[in-house]
Amino acid sequence: MTNARKARQATAEKAAQMRAEQEAREKRRRIGLVAGATAIVLALGGGITAIVLTAQNEQKELEATPLTGLKEYKDLSANHVETAVTYEQTPPVGGDHNPVWLNCGIYSEPQQNENAVHALEHGAVWITYRDDVPESEVEALKDIVGNQTYILMTPYPEQENPITLSAWEHQMSVDKASDQRIEKFIKEYKQGPQTPEPGAACTGGVGTPEG
């Protein structure tokens, strides 16, 4: 075999070896990518599963939460009046009210009963709190309200309990914003079956909520 032929053969063998090594590296890289992707999918799947299970457990816990302390009032009037109204409940849960409703949202100042009661007639839940409730509790209540519609939140200095939730003809009081009954009450009575005028507006009335 001539020297030239030997050189070409050596070059070809070296090229073949390099291709084999490159293919082996590429194969290992593909295996690594697949393994990594599989691990990510499994991790994500596990995370999603955990999130779903947590949400399901929280939903079951909420459904199982009894609304202890709930008070119901029946056959309240619902006339539109231009005058002030004396209500039997504090805050009121229904009765005669102003022809214009209070816009739903969060307020930092007390609002007129007569306008708020009209919002209850439209299916709103009214969350009120006493002046001595700590700011941290007020902020926690705001977090619960979030961007939900058909919820009023206002201070109510003269109420007996720290935090009170009112819907048309229904009322419940709690001591802390962490009480699970708050979210249960909202779920049950926001646009709930007790609503005299379901679907009626909770905007376009009076009042300018925060934000």
Tell me the per-residue pLDDT of 103-129, one tens digit each, with 9 for 90 and over.
999 999 999 999 999 999 999 999 999
For residue 200, count CB atoms less than 10 angstroms from its CB and return exposed for 0-12, middle for 13-18, buried for 19 or more: middle
Is the same domain home to 75 and 57?
no
Residue 203 inside a domain? The answer is: no
The partner residues of 114 in beta bridges, in order of sequence, read none
Is the same domain home to 76 and 168?
yes
Residues 4-10 have a mean pLDDT of 52
Residues 175 and 163: beta-carbon distance below 8 Å: yes
Residue 27 in this model has a pLDDT that exceeds 70: no
Residue 50 in this model has a pLDDT that exceeds 70: no
Is the same domain home to 108 and 148?
yes
- pLDDT for residue 157: 97
Between CA 168 and CA 126 the distance in angstroms is: 9
Residue 85 inside a domain? The answer is: yes
Is the same domain home to 38 and 113?
no
Residue 211 in this model has a pLDDT that exceeds 60: yes
Helix 3-64 with 181-189: angle, nearest 10 deg: 80
Residue 100 in this model has a pLDDT that exceeds 50: yes
pTM recorded for the entire structure? 0.72
Is the same domain home to 170 and 110?
yes
Total domains in the chain come to 2
